[in-house]
Amino acid sequence: MSRKPSSKKHQRTFGSFEQDLKRHPELKQHMETLLAIVENRDGRLERFDEAELEVLKVVRGLGRQTLEEWAQQQADRKAAELSQLNPSACKDKKNSSLA
């Protein structure tokens, strides 16, 4: 089974992944934790099922963090789009005269 070549949009140059991780320190921490499991740095993972449980914990956290950051970026992007469409719109401003 042959793989499709990846699109240029997703191809990265060396170093850009590291730069991306610097902008997302929580995701970087999850990746570092996965590497620590692979290398069994603390020496406590003796069996496959122990390693599997640790990986699952980290991957769940990674997924949660990824989706949170994705959602925040989407919200920021939409807010910027709306701001451009209607520059006079006030965001996050309470109308004190109605209170």
- 66 Cβ contact list (under 8 Å, min separation 6): 27
DSSP 3-state assignment of 24? coil
Distance CA 71, CA 73 (A): 5
98 has a pLDDT exceeding 90:
no
Distance CA 18, CA 8 (A): 18
For 56-76, write each residue's pLDDT tens digit. 999 999 999 999 999 999 999
Closest CA to 65 of 18, 24, 20: 24
Structural domain boundaries of the chain? 18-84
pLDDT at 57: 97
Residue type, 10: H
Answer whether 0.85 is exceeded by the pTM.
no
Selected residue with higher pLDDT from 39 and 10 = 39
